[in-house]
A = this chain, B = another copy of it.
Amino acid sequence: MQSVYVDGLGMTKFGKDPRPLTEIFRQAAQEALAASKAQEVDAIYIGVMNPEEFTGESNIASQIADALGLTGIPSLRIETASSAGAAAIQAGFQSIASGYYRRVLILGGEKMTHLSTSATTRILAEVIDKQERQCGATMPGLAAMITEKYRQKFRLSQSRLENMLCSVALKNHLNGSRNPLAQFQKAITREVYLTSKLVATPLRLYDCSPITDGAAALVRTSEKTDVHLSGIGQGTGPLSLRERDTFTSFPATRIAADRAYRMAEASPQAIDFAEVHDAFTPFEIITTEDLGFFPPGKGGDAAIEGKTAAEGPLPINPSGGLKSRGHPVGASGLAQVVEVAKRLRGQLPSKRQFKRGLTQSTGGLGTNNFVTILELADTPKIQNPGKLSPVPTAGQKKAISPRSVADEGEIETFTILYVTPDGFLPPLALALIRTRDGRLLMAQGEDNEHLKIGREVYLRRMDDFYLFTVKSQFQKVQESLKKRRRRKAAPSPKKEDSMDSKV
């Protein structure tokens, strides 16, 4: 395979940008071309998630070639939801690795802030499973349910979890305060975090990345430069929560990381710093575990202990991350790579010289993820890269049949949404319910009381979704009495009975 290097870089100031999308792209592209050894490129690869709905624009690849004055040159749009910028890197990488092109311009961008928050939330929610959306689920809502499951699995108290999430938010805002291109350039205090409004329990406003406009650009080349793209990998995961084997890890990240580490002949121990997809603070914690930086359940402790701070042994999101730099969905996966390349080149203020950086980008609810490894050219490989944790096998998926469902079950995880999509009134309780026959389904709570993982519930089927009610102590006693009575009354089952039950 032809080696692939990074040449010129470009990025707009993230935040609210009044210019049309093509103009935002143009600024980033021109910066990257101007900073490159040669201004000519063979093709343009563009990551953008949904200009069709965000700005009413279609045929964006031709539009951008036109806007850049590069009409004639091949131009493609690549999309994998919120990791589209990373997907463009992957496709652009292959175009050079194959020898088909020598220099390509990679772009990632999105324009979102001109729409209302509810319109943006609706468009973003289209990436999640339809049945879960019909219940009122949103991206923050599902992220919250994953977080609650994480808390229960690793036996964390409410305040310990809060402390972990807060540590990530404070760290990333502090890092963003030093990044002149970040949307939020101010550090926040613990008090600001703790008094910010709840979006979906246990997630607060400061746990969620903002709505942002922006674009990033990078020239990729087969000619040797100072920064080498040494590893890249992609993986997918199940769309719906109810088809997942695990809620506290993203298999898509682990598949992508495994490929990227193997290609780069590197391991988690070889990585000096990383930019990861902290669309929600808990995702940064889970991702640092999936990447093998910390053992499962320990990513939050690392944040609390300052291990992932900009000055710590393994800086995570030194740029401020999606949380503070902002999250123009199609741009983020590429913006991470631009940040890492700048840091390796020593173009960002830091006392340390880094040699090898990693980026991780998440599409949808962890359904289409990428990992990229960049290193200073001629960095020696580490001798014993260490063992990677086993990676989930691709192609496995639990079969679900939405038709046959028991009328009882227990809470697998839950959240209370305080910011709801149009047509749903807050506060809205949502839970993933494990039914008696072992299936998972998403349901809306009839009220918000007594929610806890493991609680037994009754289920009621509505037109498009299920409603659940937590069983009261009284109901449980009643039921157990009923069962005891039935057991006494019923004769022992005969062979004919069991034959019948098969019919």
Q: Which residues of A contact B (CB under 8 A)?
A: 1-2, 43, 49-50, 52-53, 56-63, 65-66, 69-81, 87, 90-91, 93-100, 123, 126-128, 233-239, 243, 251-252, 255-256, 363-364, 367-368, 392-397
Contact = CB atoms under 8 A, between A and B. Distances in A.
A494 B74 CA distance: 51
Given A58-B81, A93-B98, 5 more contacts: A50-B58, A71-B236, A75-B236, A75-B368, A94-B94
Contacts of A393: 72
Contact of A236 (B72, B95, B97, B392): B72
A176 B132 CA distance: 42
B76 A78 contact: yes
B239 A126 contact: no
Contacts of A368: 59, 61-62, 65, 75
A394 B70 contact: yes
A77 B75 contact: no
Nearest to A394: B72
Contact of A394 (B71, B87, B397): B71
Total copies of this chain within the assembly: 2
Given A74-B235, A236-B72, A368-B75, A58 B251 contact: no
A66 B239 contact: yes
B126 A74 contact: no
B76 A77 contact: no
Contacts of A79: 60-61, 76-79
A65 B236 contact: yes
A239 B67 CA distance: 9
A243 to B, nearest CB: 8
Contacts of A71: 236-238, 394-397
A126 B59 contact: yes
Which interface residue of A62, A79, A233, A251 has the most chain B CB atoms within 10 A?
A: A62
A209 to B, nearest CB: 17
A256 to B, nearest CB: 8
A238 B65 CA distance: 8
A388 to B, nearest CB: 16
A256 B72 CA distance: 9
A236 B62 contact: yes
A126 B58 CA distance: 5
Contacts of A126: 52, 56-59
A59 B94 contact: no
Contacts of A61: 79-81, 236, 363, 368
Contact of A52 (B52, B73, B235, B243): B52
11 contacts: A1-B99, A1-B100, A43-B234, A61-B236, A61-B368, A62-B363, A65-B236, A72-B236, A75-B236, A77-B79, A91-B94
A237 B72 CA distance: 5
Contacts of A57: 126
A59 B397 contact: no
Nearest to A79: B77
A4 to B, nearest CB: 9
Given A50-B52, A63-B239, A76 B72 contact: no
B62 A251 contact: no
Given A52-B53, A94-B95, A234 B77 contact: no
Contacts of A364: 59, 62
Contacts of A91: 76, 78, 91, 94-95
Contacts of A255: 72
Contacts of A128: 59
Nearest to A52: B52
A1 B222 CA distance: 14
Contacts of A93: 98, 100
A89 to B, nearest CB: 11
The listed residue with most B CB atoms (<10 A of its CB), out of A60, A65, A70, A239, is A65
A235 B59 contact: no
A392 to B, nearest CB: 6
A72 B239 contact: no
A266 B243 CA distance: 50
Among all A-B residue pairs, the 10 with the closest Cβ atoms? A72-B394, A98-B98, A58-B126, A97-B98, A62-B367, A74-B234, A59-B127, A59-B81, A52-B52, A65-B236
A469 B58 CA distance: 32
Nearest to A51: B52
A62 B100 contact: no
Nearest to A45: B91
Contacts of A59: 80-81, 126-128, 239, 363-364, 367-368
